[in-house]
Structure 1
Amino acid sequence: MDPIIITKLIILKKRFDVLKKLINTPKILYNKKKFLLLHKEHTQLFEIVTCFQNWLNTKQEINNIKNMLTEKDMYDLVQDELKIFNAKKINLENQLTMLLLPEDKNDKLGCFIELRAGTGGKEAAIFTAELFRMYTRYAELRHWNIEIIHIADSEYEGYKEIIIKIPNKGAYSQLKFESGGHRVQRIPHTESQGRIHTSTCTIAVIPEIPYTDFPKINSNDLRIDSFRASGAGGQHVNTTDSAIRIIHIPSGLTVECQDERSQHKNKAKALSILNSRLHALETKRRQKEESNTRRNLLGTGDRSDRIRTYNFQQGRVTDHRISFTSHKLHNIMHGDLDILIKPIINKYKFDQLNKLLQSK
């Protein structure tokens, strides 16, 4: 294990031992606020320190076993023991690495996925619909639920815009790197001369923040309009003003929802999306203030970033952020999205680990 990581772990272990003594002193026990603060830190360090102690014990065991290699009649048995403990040591090192990586508090949340047709007219709208089906299939394979929040049909085929919600815990952690520009290259059915066209779809994945974390919104900053829903939904949906449009005047953000028959339910869903968007904007603003070098290996997550190209003629998908290419386009479009998701998550973790090693 890297000496820098070992040094960090020793520091954390010392801090843990200090906390253990502090939370049992009368001075801290009678100070509820201070006690809860220190107890929380103690709990957060417990798993790391326990794992590190197991690693230290295993390392000592390996040293003890190596001292027995001089005994010829025990050599084979000792070698077998060494293999077992070395495997245990490597496993503990991997656990420690993961435990030390910074945790995104949003990783445990569900998410909204917003898909919007970009350049390319009809082809862009069709591609947007295909990506929607890809994410739907991916969710089905993981036994996740999907709620359609808003659909804006294209005048031809496909969608101008579609917003879906995946409320399952951990959905955001798997899909957060999907944000950005998705580009498709292929020959449209209407193309008589066999020319390859390029179209785009922009995607934003936003964590579904809990109600308790909603930012405070002044009701005077909202303009709420009702209108008649369009598209599929039955006679009632299309003949009553049940659809809701909410405009947040200070930011200019606009949210529409027409999925439910009830105006009240549509308003609740629209407010949920609006709050999540505002929360995402605030998070981005804070990150920008903290670091002017936010555009790292994985991009900013802005919708304008071109993150991926789907080339149907060659049956390949390329993620430009990590220079990763897969020739399993058919599988990916049918929901096997882990082909693309796992490499970028692994690369992100590797990048985070490098930052950890470089920090002093």
Structure 2
Amino acid sequence: MSVTYQDPPWIARLVEMAAQGAALAERMNQPDVAANGALMVKLAREHGALEKLLKPFREYREATRQLNETAEILADPASDAELRELAEAELPELERRRNELLDELQAKLVTGDEAAVTSVIMEIRAGTGGEEAALFAGDLLGMYRAYAARHKFKLEVLSLSASDLGGVREAILNIKGDEVYMGLRFEAGGHRVQRVPTTET
């Protein structure tokens, strides 16, 4: 009996997105788009966002195709013995890879709305502790600057209130970039530190 590896129902959404990606790629090749820089940038961004899902989707489709071909070989009594042995050896790895891709695609679809957020506002405020708290808030600002640079995010300081010793009493930041919310969504609440205060050294 032949085993067929079927797509789960939610894969239909990715099929639609693949069609959207193909339509965008075709649109970008049109002369009127090539002559319109702003429109080309807009379409390229949309296509790039889709491609983050479509690349693993294509890998999933290929893994499923290989799995079904392997299953057909094993189900065919007339298959060559050496070919059957090879198919039996390959089947577990193909199944593992397909399942990995399914998990990845499902996770990307579930977090799609969050991943689409490309701009966040962050506030840093010094807590109780006077100048030492302000210096620590300044360290946090430096840390987020480095994080933004490492991930190629754009960080803009909207408001900054400095302390007498160069710390930060309050800073309001606008951080922009692809999937920026995904990277910073858990950065909330109070931060505490125990160390020898800079104000006492």
CA deviations 1:61-91 (Å, max 9, x no partner) are 3432433698543354324542553344234
Match of 1:134 among 124, 132, 143: 143
The alignment partner of 2:143 has SS state of helix
**Kept in 2: contact 1:65–1:81 (CA 8 A):** no
| Larger RCO (CA under 8 A, 6+ residues apart) | 2
Listed as ranges, the gaps of 5+ residues in structure 2 are 1-5, 17-53
Listed as ranges, the gaps of 5+ residues in structure 1 are 1-5, 18-46, 193-360
The alignment partner of 1:177 has SS state of coil
CA offset at residue 125 of structure 1? Answer: 0.3
Matched letter for residue 162 of structure 2: D
2:174 equivalent to 1:175: no
2:193 equivalent to 1:165: no
2 CA distance for matches of 1:89 and 1:106? Answer: 23
Matched letter for residue 67 of structure 1: A
Q: Larger % of strand: which?
A: 1
**Kept in 2: contact 1:58–1:89 (CA 8 A):** no
2:9 matched residue in structure 1? 10
**TM-score of the two chains, using structure 2 as the length reference:** 0.59
2:132 equivalent to 1:123: yes
Cα distance change, pair 104–183 in 1 and its aligned pair in 2 (3 A) = farther
Match of 2:196 among 155, 179, 187: 187
Q: Larger % of helix: which?
A: 2
1:96 matched residue in structure 2? 105
**Which aligned pairs between 1:1-40 and structure 2 lie closer than 5 A?**
9-10=8-9, 13=12
1 CA distance for matches of 2:132 and 2:66? Answer: 59
Cα distance change, pair 168–151 in 1 and its aligned pair in 2 (3 A) = same
2 CA distance for matches of 1:106 and 1:78? Answer: 39
CA offset at residue 119 of structure 1? Answer: 1.6
The alignment partner of 2:112 has SS state of coil
CA offset at residue 58 of structure 1? Answer: 5.1
The alignment partner of 1:162 has SS state of strand
Match of 2:68 among 60, 64, 67: 60
CA offset at residue 191 of structure 1? Answer: 4.7
Identity of aligned pairs, percent?
29
**Kept in 2: contact 1:149–1:163 (CA 8 A):** yes
| Corresponding residue pairs, total | 156
Matched letter for residue 10 of structure 1: P
Cα distance change, pair 111–162 in 1 and its aligned pair in 2 (3 A) = same
Cα distance change, pair 190–99 in 1 and its aligned pair in 2 (3 A) = closer
Cα distance change, pair 68–87 in 1 and its aligned pair in 2 (3 A) = farther
1:143 matched residue in structure 2? 152
**Kept in 1: contact 2:131–2:165 (CA 8 A):** yes
**Kept in 1: contact 2:67–2:91 (CA 8 A):** no
CA deviations 1:269-304 (Å, max 9, x no partner) are xxxxxxxxxxxxxxxxxxxxxxxxxxxxxxxxxxxx
CA offset at residue 145 of structure 1? Answer: 2.5
**Kept in 1: contact 2:74–2:87 (CA 8 A):** yes
Cα distance change, pair 100–167 in 1 and its aligned pair in 2 (3 A) = closer
